[in-house]
Homo-oligomer: A and B are copies of this chain.
Amino acid sequence: MISGEQLIGAQQRRGTVGEFRAFSPVRDAVLEPAFGGGDAADVEQACSLAQAAFDPFRRNLPELRARLLETIAEGLLALGDVLIERAHLESALPLARLQGERLRTVNQLRLFAQNLRDGHWSAATLDAALPGRQPPRPDLRSQKIALGPVAVFGASNFPLAFSVAGGDTASALAAGCPVIAKAHPAHPGTSELVGRVIQQSVRELGLPEGVFSLLHDSDTRLGLALVTHPVIQAVGFTGSRRGGLALQAAAQARPQPIPVYAEMSAINPVFLLPAALQARGEAIAQGFADSLTLGVGQFCTNPGLLVAIDGPELQGFVEAAAALLATKPAGTMLTPGIRAAYDAGAARVREQSGVSTPAEGSAQLCLTDASTFIANPLLHEEVFGPGALLVTCRDRAELLALAESLEGQLTATLQLDEADADLARALLPVLERKAGRILANGFPTGVEVCHAMVHGGPFPASSSALHTSVGSMAIERFLRPVCYQDLPDWLLPPALQNANPLGLWRRLEGKPHPA
């Protein structure tokens, strides 16, 4: 079922540049078949098809896009164990985790299908003409439309939910943007299986073939060619800070710059407030150890930083956490490269002046004080994997200063009790400025796909603090507003016609009105 070919519109074509195979960390061996990397002609053809597909795809009824997403969801489920087993071989992620990730991917596609039918995404807005006003006001209506063909770069750590049919693809297709996916070279087989489901779904629904293509490359060359192709109008990316910044630089250097939505880097601080720590330090230590080691720590929301005011309860917490971490089995990481980067990064933290290491092994817990942390930029960097740093503060003022010193984050967490209310209220405004999601009494791993989710945050968590890559609002990255002034009803798009044929909630004179 896996041929090693690229999917370019309705065709399949073997790339001719730099043959490569997936490496299985489970088997410690390469997997068949061989994949061929694409060349400039492949990029050109995929882009040309995407451009041809763009107007018919975006201007078709939203219902058709909803059915496309649902058909893809059905197709993913129909692949059954074939998909899960290949993803397991390519990523070493456990079968149960991958089954959960598939369900999440399917539910994400279905959520966007449902949202398309609700129509909130189109932001249809009508301001009536005021012919008697001086000067007269014309009839003005606006809606959001698709931005253009989108390049999607799959993530290493979510071969399903953040890859070929993941959140970027689902939200871009929902918006009406054709997608050209660049498969992650760590899971090209999984990518092809998923890509074929999308290709087949596009065909079944009679949509233009250029709605979707899948390209391969084991290097960065093809990705840069894609991002700099004039047809591409936006980029979705989940991965390293270095990778995201390289795409961003390429996108900005184009004659026409385009937005790059790169979800990059976070250490996800968890603040252990005094009353909570006193009341339930052991339970917090258990929750922390579980969250830190979940999936061998390979989550962008992994809790890499703990912050607390020093005291006897904290000593107990550290001992409990270290003991719990010592019981965690060593896990196989996604790729040998990620393992090597984690080992080097974890060692670098241990070697910093003023840092001690209460737990070292399958998972690592280091310890330092606030002034050391604030002064050393290296300690603010993400180490992707099961390592965390606990920073002790002298007092409340130092804890607030530490919060202010943080870079942008995907999440910030408060472990708090009612007796911590004053400190929590003082911290909250700082954390709002620093993070996209703020949690109380939980742990940041686990990102719900729903309307209120924000998976993003100030730089470097994301390249655009204005957007989220998970949840209903993710579609906003791929839409732009267009205003129509005095157009005759027969020329207006359906969302804005007088009769409201799509049955949308629309804003009339600024107020929401049901159909």
Question: Known contacts being A429-B59, A484-B438, A512-B512, is A450 close to B491, with CB within 8 Å?
Answer: no
Contacts of A135 in B (CB 8 A): 446
Complex Cα distance, B483 from A456, in Å, reads 10
Pick the contact of A482: B125, B148, B432 (CB < 8 A): B432
Is A509's CB within 8 Å of the partner chain B?
A: yes
Query: Looking across the interface, which residue of chain B has its beta carbon closest to that of A491?
Result: B424
Is A224's CB within 8 Å of the partner chain B?
A: no
Question: Known contacts being A454-B142, A505-B512, is A485 close to B438, with CB within 8 Å?
Answer: yes
How far does the Cβ of A207 sit from chain B's closest Cβ, in whole Å? Answer: 16
Question: Known contacts being A120-B510, A259-B466, A439-B485, is A125 close to B448, with CB within 8 Å?
Answer: no
Complex Cα distance, B424 from A440, in Å, reads 55
Please determine whether B127 and A450 come into contact, CB atoms closer than 8 angstroms: yes
Please determine whether B509 and A451 come into contact, CB atoms closer than 8 angstroms: yes
Is A441's CB within 8 Å of the partner chain B?
A: yes
Please determine whether A442 and B485 come into contact, CB atoms closer than 8 angstroms: yes
Q: Which of A148, A439, A473, A485 is the most central at the interface, judged by chain B CB atoms within 10 Å of its CB?
A: A485
Q: How many residues of A contact B (CB 8 A)?
A: 84
Is A102's CB within 8 Å of the partner chain B?
A: no
Pick the contact of A137: B450, B467, B468, B480 (CB < 8 A): B450
Please determine whether B454 and A479 come into contact, CB atoms closer than 8 angstroms: no
Question: Known contacts being A135-B446, A421-B491, A440-B485, is A480 close to B453, with CB within 8 Å?
Answer: no
Query: Looking across the interface, which residue of chain B has its beta carbon closest to that of A428?
Result: B491
Q: Which residues, 399 to 456 on A, are CB-close (under 8 Å) to B?
A: 407-408, 416, 418, 421, 424-425, 428-430, 432-433, 435-442, 446, 448, 450-454, 456
Contacts of A256 in B (CB 8 A): 407-408, 458-460
Contacts of A459 in B (CB 8 A): 256-257
Question: Known contacts being A257-B459, A441-B486, A451-B127, is A472 close to B115, with CB within 8 Å?
Answer: no
Question: Known contacts being A148-B433, A491-B428, A491-B440, is A482 close to B507, with CB within 8 Å?
Answer: no
How far does the Cβ of A378 sit from chain B's closest Cβ, in whole Å? Answer: 15
Q: Which residues, 353 to 387 on A, are CB-close (under 8 Å) to B?
A: none
Pick the contact of A488: B440, B446, B473 (CB < 8 A): B440
Please determine whether A452 and B127 come into contact, CB atoms closer than 8 angstroms: yes
Please determine whether A454 and B466 come into contact, CB atoms closer than 8 angstroms: no
Contacts of A408 in B (CB 8 A): 256
Besides A127-B448, A438-B482, 19 more A-B contacts (Cβ < 8 Å) are A118-B511, A127-B452, A135-B446, A137-B448, A142-B473, A147-B466, A248-B257, A256-B407, A257-B459, A418-B488, A421-B490, A424-B491, A435-B482, A436-B481, A440-B487, A440-B491, A453-B483, A456-B481, A473-B481
Chain A residues engaging chain B, CB cutoff 8 angstroms: 54-55, 59, 114-115, 118, 120, 123, 125-127, 135, 137-138, 140-142, 145, 147-148, 248, 252, 256-257, 259, 407-408, 416, 418, 421, 424-425, 428-430, 432-433, 435-442, 446, 448, 450-454, 456, 458-460, 463-468, 472-473, 476-477, 479-488, 490-491, 505, 507, 509-512
- The 5 residue pairs across chains A and B that have the minimum distance between CB atoms: A454-B483, A142-B452, A140-B452, A437-B483, A439-B485
**27 examples of A-B residue contacts, CB within 8 angstroms:** A118-B510, A127-B448, A127-B450, A127-B452, A137-B448, A140-B453, A142-B453, A145-B432, A147-B465, A252-B252, A256-B460, A257-B463, A424-B491, A425-B491, A436-B480, A436-B481, A437-B482, A437-B484, A439-B485, A439-B486, A440-B486, A452-B483, A454-B482, A454-B483, A456-B481, A466-B477, A473-B481
